[in-house]
Structure 1
Amino acid sequence: PASFVYWGFSYKKLHGHHRLSIKPRSSICRSYIVSSLPQARGPTQLDKSQGLNFVTKDIDTLVLDCDGVLWRGDKLLYRTTEALNTLRALGKRLLFLTNNASKSRLQYKSKFESLGIQVHASEIVPASYCAAAYLQSLCFPLHKTVLLIGNTGVEQELNQAGISYVGGESDFFPDMCSPSDIEAIKVDPSIGAVVVGFDPRFSYSKLAYATACLRELPGCRFVLTNGDHGDKVGGGRIMPGTGAISAAIETSSGRKPVTVGKGGPWLLPWLCEHYGLEDTRRVCIVGDRLDTDIALGKQGGLRTVLPLTGVTSLEDLQAAGEEQLPDFYVPNLATLAGL
């Protein structure tokens, strides 16, 4: 088609190519050309020579997922530290972008350092930080308060941003289990946003109070750190994630949240503006999830690489639809550093 819109990004056909226009709060993310020529189905596997050549010649910035790319749990993946050191030695800028909102930037910095990786807090972009940055981008009023369903990661980022909150790890929520309890809820009128992050202590009381805020407070915003419904754990089981918590609140409140992590439309324009990513053709996102990492890259014409060290297997890749596929896949991150 001559033009079309996808996830809030405008595409127009120009001289046989599609021009992607990203329009954040400033003009930093300008228009970039995305080839519209037919391509063979499926991503290309890179060996270590090809990976190093690709990064050296075509890429200035690598946006790296963490779990499934750098580590699994608390164990580093194959030659992660050497790979990061090599990429830095090549003059590449590194950003670490994770949908995990359970830690703040400073908490993540401590984890990196405990694993022997030196990073600056400004290079780390967890979904907890994105929630605070989103509210700041809206000029969230100083006299307003956030109702937080989440833990210390989001708490620390809200504190750092100077945004007051109730809930979180505190005992703010009274026990509610009957119709009379629900009728007796006294909603704090200063609440201007409900922010939902990962909360392993999510309860019916939290659901009821958040629902009342979203239904009854005019202008109350609904913010979701990330929409991941769950993660694979041992024994073939799924650990329910933040998206599952949000789904309950969405159902009871009748509201849809703004997702500020990977998987939502806000993140990419903000990343471009905040980190000065002017030419997305020279930015590569490296992640192990098709629905978040690779989807984010495909939104804005970033190069995309999927390592087979996380949740997506080669079989998953082969079964995926063409619109979901990355540009390349590799055995691990070290391949991109020629290791």
Structure 2
Amino acid sequence: MANGLPDPPCGLLTADAARSLVDSVDAFLFDCDGVIWKGDKLIEGVRETMELLRKMGKKIVFVTNNSRKSRRQYSKKFRSLGLEVTEEDIFTSSFAAAMFLKLNNFPSEKKVYVVGEGGILEELKLAGFECFGGPEDGKKNIILEADFHFEHDKNVGAVVVGLDQHFNYYKMQYARTCITENPGCLFIATNRDPTGHMTSAQEWPGAGTMVAAVSCSVQKEPIVVGKPSSFLMDFLLKSFNLETSRMCMVGDRLDTDILFGQNTGCKTLLVLSGQKLVVLSAPQSLSRVQ
């Protein structure tokens, strides 16, 4: 085991191995950033790959840790890039955060404070929760003066932290105060990715940097609902009549995508952000792919 990751048999994906993989899989789970696109640029060959897999009768699902958009907003982005994908085939970490609260019977009278962007707010509202924060609080400042006391809503029962381009000291203090001063307040992270492909030119700080800041200030670890947590897999299994052994997770990160697949019993396929080299790993396989 290296860096917390299992060491299953793995190897380069040759033509023979690719045919064997496709024959053994009914559904492919694709990450988005760095696998389908970089920023707003579609990676070469993606459209043709999607068409081929669908012609072969394979189910295609998208599982992303990026919480900036809701499933509705992601469906719109897919269409803008020439890919027809329905909301039902998209599973985001923003959706996972809302579903976690719903499944755990989060009290309807409690509020949710969001350190993140519109995607989290939209999914929470669609799930019936009262929430606030997000981009609006990115405009707020704190002036530290003697005897200054930071006021917050005592009715906040959960804080959700995700990728936030408007992250600031005000948000960090609001989250910290709710978690430490509101009895039983949940601390939920959409994901802990350290970086992400926010543009096609380079990588940028990911949600994990915001989560780390809040976690450090409250001296508490969050509940993580995105990959590599297996939480999203429960919804996949409920939505589609498939077995995890007949699924393949395709991603560009070992610590999230591939670990998610291995944690849930899927085959896994690592792509190096659009490059030709890929690595296949199959649970319970005893032979190295040649």
TM-score by length of 2: 0.86
For 1:206, the equivalent position in structure 2 comes to 171
For 2:13, the equivalent position in structure 1 comes to 46
Cα separation, 2, equivalents of 1:235 and 1:216: 41
Q: What secondary structure, in the 3-state scheme, does the structure 2 residue paired with 1:306 have?
A: strand
Q: Is structure 2 residue 148 aligned with structure 1 residue 194? A: no
Cα separation, 2, equivalents of 1:160 and 1:257: 23
Cα separation, 1, equivalents of 2:262 and 2:104: 26
2:113 maps to which of 144, 147, 150? 147
For 1:293, the equivalent position in structure 2 comes to 257
Q: Is structure 2 residue 83 aligned with structure 1 residue 129? A: no
Structure number with larger C-alpha Rg? 1
Q: What secondary structure, in the 3-state scheme, does the structure 2 residue paired with 1:219 have?
A: coil
Cα separation, 1, equivalents of 2:177 and 2:198: 34
Uncovered stretches (5+) of structure 2, i.e. residues with no partner: 283-290
CA contact (8 A) 1:173 1:209 kept: no
2:190 maps to which of 222, 225, 244? 225
CA contact (8 A) 2:39 2:200 kept: no
The RMSD of aligned alpha carbons is 2.8
For residues 256-309 of structure 1, the C-alpha deviation after alignment (integer angstroms, 9 at most, x for no partner) is 1111111234333x2354324552111110111111000001112210011233
The residue correspondences of 1:236-315 to structure 2 (distance < 5 A) are 238-268=203-233, 270-276=234-240, 278-310=242-274
Q: Is structure 2 residue 281 aligned with structure 1 residue 327? A: yes
For 1:84, the equivalent position in structure 2 comes to 50
Moved over 6 A (4+): 232-237
Give the AA of the match of 1:241.
G
| Aligned-pair CA distance for 1:97 | 0.6
CA contact (8 A) 2:39 2:198 kept: no
1:248–1:179 distance in 2 versus 1, CA, 3 Å: farther
For residues 126-145 of structure 1, the C-alpha deviation after alignment (integer angstroms, 9 at most, x for no partner) is 11111111111112111111
Give the AA of the match of 2:174.
Y
Q: What secondary structure, in the 3-state scheme, does the structure 2 residue paired with 1:301 have?
A: coil
| Aligned-pair CA distance for 1:76 | 1.9
| Aligned-pair CA distance for 1:121 | 0.7
How many residue pairs were aligned? 278
Cα separation, 1, equivalents of 2:198 and 2:75: 24
CA contact (8 A) 1:294 1:326 kept: no
| Aligned-pair CA distance for 1:250 | 0.7
CA contact (8 A) 2:70 2:122 kept: yes
CA contact (8 A) 1:174 1:205 kept: yes
